[in-house]
Amino acid sequence: MIKIFRTNVQTEYQVVEITNLLLQEFHNFKISIDLEDWEKILRVQGNGFKSEDIERIVSAYGYRCEELI
């Protein structure tokens, strides 16, 4: 399953921070954030997760995270 989210992540440091936070919860997932896209797209690939879980984790650290449908 692949889910795509719009974020407000701006720097490489923030990319590393968010990626590490998500990998703590979702160990074997593929996670990337495209800083060159105007919506700063977060892409999460894995099995057995809910969009709300991703949004909750990212938002808890002060970043905007909204699933694109």
Domain coordinates of the chain in residue numbers? 2-67
pLDDT at 55: 97
Given a contact cutoff of 8 angstroms between Cβ atoms, the answer to whether 10 and 35 are in contact is yes
Q: 0.75 exceeded by the pTM? A: yes
Query: Architecture of domain 2-67 in CATH?
Result: 2-Layer Sandwich (3.30)
pLDDT of residue 69 exceeding 90, the answer is no
pLDDT of residue 17 exceeding 90, the answer is yes
